[in-house]
């Protein structure tokens, strides 16, 4: 391993409150999931510091909202430039705290930079809805106030960029709270924000999952932008009721893949495997369950199993690693429970047991002949364990795919795109792909159905989620 990678500095992290980089009231340890060693001491905010961050954002809001959008756009583009110039250091730190291979961390950083540059040129022009000889009716988009951006541990930098840039471009101020197991890259981002933005416009606090309720219920927070599990999303939703906060929730998924009888197992298997195992399965939009027609079920299972056996699992800092560890011990133990379920309810044909080494490593696991009511099928595993189910009737497969509380994404695989499109129209998910997976252009909207979320992220619609529409109706 490159010694330079091992010696990357991971010290001196600070909160960002009112333009100042300050220590927390306490600290907590961040663990490298590939080694289980302590990576860094992270500042831990207390309730007083949370209140200070919200107060700073509230105080900064009037001036920031009055700042011309052209100036806000310019600062966002400078943020993109600085993040790009430091992207290698960010990628190394991201691999160490999250676990993903270095090439995947670098890809995440490129995506984060690209996301900022996609948001920056967008606009919020006043629209004339109707004009007659006697009246003029216009719609104006105005900022909401203080936005709380709460991000998860699986894709921490990129997912923050679905929240921070549009909130700022729209004229809001922000309090960011990253997941406690991956706070370090966000705190490093705070160092850039401290140089670029006026005091109070961007604030970053970190906790040990003890300040979330105080932030989401805070009377001076106008909107919550949250990405995380459905279970936590329900708590966030409940906490906003007393103040009727605006809310965007991007939650869990149990995304089905339906493989039609005319698909080529050898051709689609690598795409399905990559769609399921990306980030070691720790992606809300990863393929979580596969429904394959009788006529190709055995061949598809064999192809997926062979891909799983060949995959290189290891420390993300090691050259050649394709899949890293699970990000934290709690998720590691949860996925081990799904492995037990798979052993009891199905047939494991690849993987099936944690690696015998330090770190939270579970190899890609393929499970066949498992019933629909197994936990691995009904729940979101968020790990590298993929159940493959058999069907003979397409209507039955669609019904089974739709039989879920989740509705985030789905895929359909076929040699006939038009036929697959007709199937896609019948799947109850916010996004359905045909013969590809996780193609998410930054300028197009994305959101979940059912218990997979509320509201829209990305695209013009995503920007408008950070505004209030105001109608002005005037007589001439």
Answer yes or no: is 417 within a domain: yes
Host domain of residue 102: 3-251+452-475
Contact 391, 400 (CB under 8 A): yes
Contact 230, 452 (CB under 8 A): yes
Q: Do 412 and 430 share a domain, yes or no?
A: yes
Number of domains in the chain: 2
| Phi–psi pair at 330, nearest 5 degrees | -60, -45
Quote the pLDDT of residue 5. Answer: 36
Q: Do 170 and 116 share a domain, yes or no?
A: yes
Q: Do 120 and 231 share a domain, yes or no?
A: yes
Rg (CA), the chain: 23
Q: Do 300 and 372 share a domain, yes or no?
A: yes
Dist CA 186 CA 167 (whole Å): 16
**What are the tokens at 439?**
């193609």
| Phi–psi pair at 223, nearest 5 degrees | -150, 145
Quote the pLDDT of residue 6. Answer: 36
Give residue-wise pLDDT tens across range 223-276.
999 999 999 999 999 999 999 999 999 999 999 999 999 999 999 999 999 999
Give residue-wise pLDDT tens across range 162-179.
999 999 999 999 999 999
Answer yes or no: is 447 within a domain: no
Residue 224, domain CATH: 3.40.605.10
Give 185's Cβ-side CA count (13 Å radius). 34
Answer yes or no: is 175 within a domain: yes
Q: Do 238 and 281 share a domain, yes or no?
A: no
Dist CA 33 CA 95 (whole Å): 9
Instruction: Give the dihedral of Cα atoms 295, 297, 298, 302; nearest 10 deg.
Output: 140
Residue 327, domain CATH: 3.40.309.10
The pTM assigned to this predicted structure is 0.95
What does each C-alpha distance from 69 to 63, 72, 136, 139 come to in angstroms? 12, 5, 24, 17
Q: Do 174 and 65 share a domain, yes or no?
A: yes
- Ramachandran bin of 438, using left for φ above 0, alpha for ψ from -120 to 50, beta for the remaining angles: left
Contact 296, 262 (CB under 8 A): no
Dist CA 402 CA 387 (whole Å): 16
Q: Name residues whose C-beta falls within 8 Å of residue 143's C-beta, 6 or more positions apart in sequence.
A: 61, 65, 170, 171, 172, 466, 467, 468
Put the strands of the sheet holding 135-143 in their side by side order: 127-131, 135-143, 467-475
Q: Do 261 and 204 share a domain, yes or no?
A: no
Answer yes or no: is 446 within a domain: no
Dist CA 291 CA 277 (whole Å): 17
Q: Name residues whose C-beta falls within 8 Å of residue 141's C-beta, 6 or more positions apart in sequence.
A: 124, 126, 170, 464, 467, 468, 469, 470
Please list the ranges in the chain whose pLDDT falls under 70.
1-11
Quote the pLDDT of residue 58. Answer: 98
Quote the pLDDT of residue 205. Answer: 98
Dist CA 389 CA 109 (whole Å): 35
Q: Do 8 and 95 share a domain, yes or no?
A: yes
Residues noted as catalytic:
250, 284
Q: Do 349 and 302 share a domain, yes or no?
A: yes
Instruction: Give the dihedral of Cα atoms 274, 439, 253, 396; nearest 10 deg.
Output: -80
Q: Do 197 and 265 share a domain, yes or no?
A: no
Dist CA 204 CA 19 (whole Å): 10
Please provide the size of the chain in residues.
476
Q: Do 180 and 159 share a domain, yes or no?
A: yes
Quote the pLDDT of residue 11. Answer: 61
Q: Do 166 and 232 share a domain, yes or no?
A: yes
């Amino acid at each position: 391993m490159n010694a330079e990678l091992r010696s990357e500095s991971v010290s001196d992290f600070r909160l960002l409150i009112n333009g100042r980089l300050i220590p927390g009231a306490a600290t907590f340890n961040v663990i490298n999931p590939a080694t289980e060693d302590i990576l860094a001491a992270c500042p831990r905010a207390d309730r007083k510091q949370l209140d200070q961050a919200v107060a700073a954002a509230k105080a900064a809001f009037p001036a920031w909202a009055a700042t011309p959008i052209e100036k806000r756009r310019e600062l966002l583009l400078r943020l993109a430039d600085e993040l790009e110039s430091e992207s290698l250091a960010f990628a190394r730190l991201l691999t160490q705290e999250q676990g993903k291979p270095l090439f995947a961390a670098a890809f995440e950083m490129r995506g984060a930079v690209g996301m900022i540059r996609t948001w920056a040129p967008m606009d919020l022009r006043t629209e004339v809805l109707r004009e007659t000889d006697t009246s003029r009716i216009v719609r104006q988009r105005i900022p909401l106030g203080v936005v709380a951006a709460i991000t998860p541990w699986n894709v921490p930098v990129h997912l923050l960029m679905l929240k921070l840039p549009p909130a700022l471009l729209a004229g809001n101020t922000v309090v960011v709270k990253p997941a406690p197991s991956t706070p370090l890259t966000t705190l490093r981002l705070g160092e850039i924000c401290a140089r670029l933005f006026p005091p109070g416009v961007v604030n970053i606090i970190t906790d040990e999952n003890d300040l979330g309720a105080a932030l989401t219920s805070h009377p001076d927070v106008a909107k919550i932008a949250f990405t995380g599990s459905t279970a936590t999303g329900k708590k966030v939703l409940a906490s906003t009721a007393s103040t009727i906060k605006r809310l965007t929730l991007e939650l869990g998924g149990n995304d089905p893949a339906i493989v039609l009888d005319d698909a080529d197992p050898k051709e689609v298997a690598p795409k399905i495997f990559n769609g399921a195992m990306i980030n070691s399965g720790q992606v809300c939009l990863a393929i979580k369950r596969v429904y394959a027609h009788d006529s190709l079920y055995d061949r598809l299972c064999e192809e997926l199993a062979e891909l799983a056996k060949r995959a290189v699992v290891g420390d993300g800092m090691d050259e050649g690693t394709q899949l890293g560890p699970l990000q934290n011990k709690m998720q590691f133990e949860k996925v081990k429970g799904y492995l037990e379920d798979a052993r009891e309810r199905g047939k494991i044909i690849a993987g099936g047991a944690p690696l015998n080494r330090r770190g939270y490593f579970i190899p890609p696991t393929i499970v066949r002949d498992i019933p629909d009511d197994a936990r691995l099928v009904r729940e979101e595993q968020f790990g590298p364990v993929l159940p493959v189910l058999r069907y003979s009737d397409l209507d039955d497969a669609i019904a089974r795919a739709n039989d879920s509380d989740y509705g985030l994404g789905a895929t359909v695989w076929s040699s006939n795109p038009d036929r697959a499109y007709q199937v896609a129209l019948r799947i109850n998910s916010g996004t359905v792909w045909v013969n590809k997976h996780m193609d998410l252009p930054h300028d197009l909207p994305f959101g979940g159905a059912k218990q997979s979320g509320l509201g829209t992220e990305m695209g013009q619609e995503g920007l408008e989620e950070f505004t209030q529409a105001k109608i002005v109706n005037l007589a001439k």
